Structure 1
Amino acid sequence: MKANKITSCYVGPQISPEQFVQEHFFLYLSKGIMNGYDGNKHYTLRAGESCIVRKNRLARYNKQRENDEFGKVIFIFDESFLKGFQKKHLIDFRNHAQKDAFIKLKKDKLINSFLLSLEPYYNNSGKITTAFADLKREELLLIILQLHPELSDILFDFGIPGRLDLEEFMQKNYKFNVSIERFAFLTGRSLSAFKRDFRQIFNDTPNRWLVKRRLQEGRFLIEKKKQKPADIYIDLGFEDLSHFYFAFKKQFGYPPSAMRQENANG
């Protein structure tokens, strides 16, 4: 039996649905394709591949079904669990620099064997029974650290993000649909310091600037790249198409459809 026969399974605390990774997690794709983006790089995970997704990162991912199927296995390595694991096991730190939000893991029989061992434990909802959940998380983490000892530097770093260049960070990450509090945290600032520094740099409030910056990019994509509003509004950070249309018309005085018509006539 192959590991890609496993149906979806989820172990650990729930993670936020927003585009901010609150806790490290292991992701194995059993069926389909997943595309990810962290503001710097694009990633593709295919059936049979696995990765670690890092905490305190902005990340966006979408799934593609294959033969109308998509399956994944997720193990959340939250800070409480990791601190307990660190106390129990001797951790070897390697001082390995790694900036990517998605860290692809080696294909290995240990991971495949572990995934196959899950089958007797999870129920129809894809949840491992509570009695075995932490034991299986511990087993998986031991395997990952044996294959990638350098990941100890990432998984057991319990610090908070340091102070970053705010202008550079926002110009790179304005498309992510997260709260102002998240942006403040990721740039190493309190909310009040973030708002103060933001106004000094951009001469505007964060919320107004984000909407205008996203709309500027949307206008460019429609006018110059001939893209459709329905294809870009999510990637620009808008929650629904109607909000994008409303904000666009308010900002520029005409709806995106007017530009589409102009492109067609041109």
Structure 2
Amino acid sequence: MRVTNIHSCHLGPEISPEQFISDHFFLCLLRGSMVAYDGQKTYTVQPGNYCIARKNHLLRYTKYKDNDRFEKVIITFDEPFLKRFLERHPTDSLTLTNDDSFLFVKEETFIANFIQSLKPYYNSDEAIDEAFADIKREELLLILLRADPSLAAVFFNFGAPAKIDLEEFMNRNFRFNISLERFAFLTGRSLSSFKRDFYKIFNDTPRNWLRKKRLDEAHFQLSKKHLKSSEVYLEVGFEDLSHFSFAFKKQFGYNPSELMSSE
């Protein structure tokens, strides 16, 4: 069922601006498309798709507008809300072996009707009236669990990430611009144990290793794929183009622009 007469809206706490998903959220794309990358897999979201972005995962988005418009419905399920829901609706938590960052939910009438039902409740700031927020979130969560009971294993897992292979994780996710505290958390370690284990594996500090690794990746993208600095610096984990250029010259002895002109 195609949803009509509704534009972008947001329900629940704000989603973290970092590339770290701090709370589960439901996404329905209404107009435009989106490609997301989690360090391993690429997910393509088209209009009419429903999906769950999973807490404690890394994700980078690229949005593509349709006639200069990108419209979506985002509904966040934060932990306090989920715990209150579980008290009212005791649910058996199943085991989910799928660790994908995006979980696609099959299209069904109940979800489409729910999204259409949001129209009277949201304002021009794309936010749902606070008086109805938890009621509508609870309604959606009941619909999602009815459609796929295995999602209980996602929503009601309140534990911290388990200790994992640090070397494999860092080599896969070094491009994500998150804090060392986030890296430590996602690998199941305190910050001090993360730094200690990191040095044992890489014989370097995390900050030095990340800088070198990101600059090496940037050098490859510039020299082999002939991309521009403006197309590369964010992708390899730098926040600022001038800082990227300065760090690049310090490591390699020449500016990124000189590498491009020499090709």
TM-score (norm 1): 0.96
Q: What is the SS of the residue equivalent to 1:35?
A: strand
Is the CA contact 1:4–1:31 (under 8 Å) kept in the aligned structure 2? no
Residue 26 of structure 1 corresponds to 26
Give the Cα–Cα distance (whole angstroms) in 2 for the partners of residues 102 and 233 of structure 1: 25
Supply the AA of the counterpart residue of 2:255: P
- The aligned counterpart of 1:197 is 197
Q: In the aligned structure 2, how far is the partner of 1:243 from the partner of 1:38?
A: 25
Q: Does the 8 A contact of 1:31 with 1:70 survive in 2?
A: yes
Tell me by how many angstroms 1:109 deviates: 1.1
Partner of 1:256: 256
SS of the equivalent of 2:121 reads coil
CA contact (8 A) 2:8 2:71 kept: yes
Q: Residue 52 of structure 2 aligns with which residue?
A: 52
**Within 2, Cα distance between the matches of 1:43 and 1:147?**
21
Q: Give the stretch that moved more between structures: 92-101 or 215-224.
A: 92-101
Matches within 5 A, 1:176-195: 176-195=176-195
Q: Cα offset for 1:15?
A: 2.2
Quote the Cα distance in structure 2 between the aligned partners of 1:143 and 1:135.
13
State how far apart, in whole Å, the 1-side matches of 2:4 and 2:230 are. Answer: 33
Cα offset, 1:4, TM superposition: 4.7
1:218 equivalent to 2:218? Answer yes
Q: Please state whether the residue corresponding to 2:74 is helix, strand or coil.
A: strand
Are 1:101 and 2:101 matched, yes or no? yes
Deviation of residue 140 (structure 1)? 0.4
SS in 2 for 1:84: helix
2:161–2:188 CA contact under 8 A, matched in 1: yes
Shift of 1:11: 0.8
Matched to 2:130, the amino acid is: T
Q: Distance in 2 between matches of 1:5 and 1:144?
A: 23
Structure 2: gaps of 5 or more residues = none
Q: CA deviation at 1:235?
A: 1.1
Instruction: Indicate conservation of the 8 Å contact 2:39/2:173, yes or no.
Output: yes
Instruction: Give the aligned partner of residue 207 of structure 2.
Output: 207
**Which amino acid in the other structure matches residue 212 of structure 1?**
K
Residue 221 (structure 1) shift: 1.4
Query: For 1:95-146, what per-residue CA distance to the aligned partner results, in whole angstroms no more than 9, with x for missing partners?
Result: 2211100111111111110000000011111111111000000000011111
* Total equivalences in the alignment: 263
Alpha-carbon distance between aligned partners in 2 of 1:4 and 1:158, rounded to the nearest angstrom = 36
Instruction: Detail structure 1 runs of 4+ shifted over 3 Å in the superposition.
Output: none
Cα distance in 2 between the residues matched to 1:55 and 1:124: 28
Query: C-alpha root-mean-square deviation of aligned residues, in Å?
Result: 1.2
Task: Tell me how far 1:240 sits from its aligned partner.
Answer: 2.2
CA distance in 1, matches of 2:62, 2:142: 29
Question: Superposed, which structure 2 residues align to 1:60-209 within 5 Å?
Answer: 60-209=60-209
What whole-Å deviation, never above 9, does each CA across 1:41-76 have from its counterpart, x for those lacking one?
Answer: 001101111110000111111211011110111111
Using structure 2 for the length normalisation, give the TM-score: 0.97
Instruction: Among all aligned residue pairs of Structure 1 and Structure 2, give the percentage whose two residues are the same amino acid.
Output: 55
The one-letter code of the counterpart of 1:30 is L
